[in-house]
Amino acid sequence: MPAPQGGGNASGFSVHLGSTLCASPSKTQGPSSCQNSNRIDIRMPDFNVAKDVVVIDMGRVLSNSNVDVNTEGTSPGCMSFPKDADCPAIMGAFGLTYDGVKAAGPQRFIFKK
């Protein structure tokens, strides 16, 4: 099989922003709590649903990540699991704490037009 464009080892690069390390009484019941909720607080006080548009720029989310290479032994891309070397820059772009490291600033990928 030929190497993907860029010559890295990734067969695709996904981003899954989901809660991790969740406690649940069983596999069929929803979790009662999660150590990492991975939820983004977005406020747009002047947003008008009839006129305004929200743009999510995934290029900005991925701008500090090498999407041609995936960390060996991990899911393709960043699945939000702790200790995945593909996640720190992505979670930082979302403005989220990851593996105990706070983001350098607020999210920087959602814009209102």
pLDDT tens for each residue of the chain, 113 residues long: 444 455 555 567 899 988 999 998 888 988 888 998 898 888 888 889 999 988 888 888 999 999 988 888 888 899 999 999 999 999 999 999 999 899 888 887 776 66
Cα–Cα distance between 83 and 69 in angstroms, integer? Answer: 16
Which pTM does this prediction carry? 0.77
Cα–Cα distance between 32 and 60 in angstroms, integer? Answer: 33
Domains in the chain: boundaries: 13-40+47-113
